[in-house]
């Protein structure tokens, strides 16, 4: 929260499990208390407009333990559909570098660096002298040769 027009925010923790219907006066008092603790007594602008800039929620819940299942074994050969168009990348000099679709790689596949492995949410850079291997759970491991 902050005074309207200010740049810096003050984090105010709410003491309630559920926000009550008439929360505003108590929230204002919590803000003033926290603000004056940080900036000194009397520094808060009583009656000034306040802004809630960010709301954070911290929650906990009991969840069932996940069951990890091993993927089916496959051959060491990289599936044809996993190979993408190579790109020129700087590795102490420009080199044509293989690029792979990581989501199409299978258990047991090993990609020797230099290489790039792309998925929908990340890109893995396999440096020269290293190998990316797909483990039994489908994770990418980077190994030193």
Classified as helix, coil or strand, 65 is coil
How much is the pLDDT for 71?
75
| pLDDT tens for each residue of 119-140 | 999 999 999 999 999 998 889 9
Domains in the chain: boundaries:
2-51, 80-144
Strand 110-112 relative to strand 94-101: parallel, antiparallel, unpaired? unpaired
How much is the pLDDT for 10?
92
| Alpha-carbon gap, residue 134 to 130, rounded angstroms | 13
| pLDDT tens for each residue of 48-103 | 899 999 988 888 899 999 888 887 766 678 888 999 999 999 999 999 999 999 99
Whether pTM exceeds 0.85: no
How much is the pLDDT for 75?
66
């Amino acid at each position: 929260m902050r005074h309207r027009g200010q740049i810096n925010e003050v984090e105010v923790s709410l003491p309630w499990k559920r926000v009550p219907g008439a929360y505003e006066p108590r929230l204002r008092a919590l803000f003033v208390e926290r603000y004056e603790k940080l900036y000194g007594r009397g520094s808060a602008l009583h009656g000034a407009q306040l802004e809630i800039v960010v709301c954070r929620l911290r929650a906990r819940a009991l969840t069932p333990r996940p069951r990890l299942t091993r993927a089916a074994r496959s051959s060491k050969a990289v599936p044809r559909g996993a190979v993408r168009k190579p790109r020129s990348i700087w590795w102490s000099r420009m080199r044509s570098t293989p690029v792979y679709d990581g989501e199409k790689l299978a258990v047991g596949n090993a990609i020797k660096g230099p290489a790039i492995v792309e998925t929908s949410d990340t890109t893995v850079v396999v440096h020269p002298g290293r190998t990316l291997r797909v483990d039994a759970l489908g994770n990418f491991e980077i190994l030193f040769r």
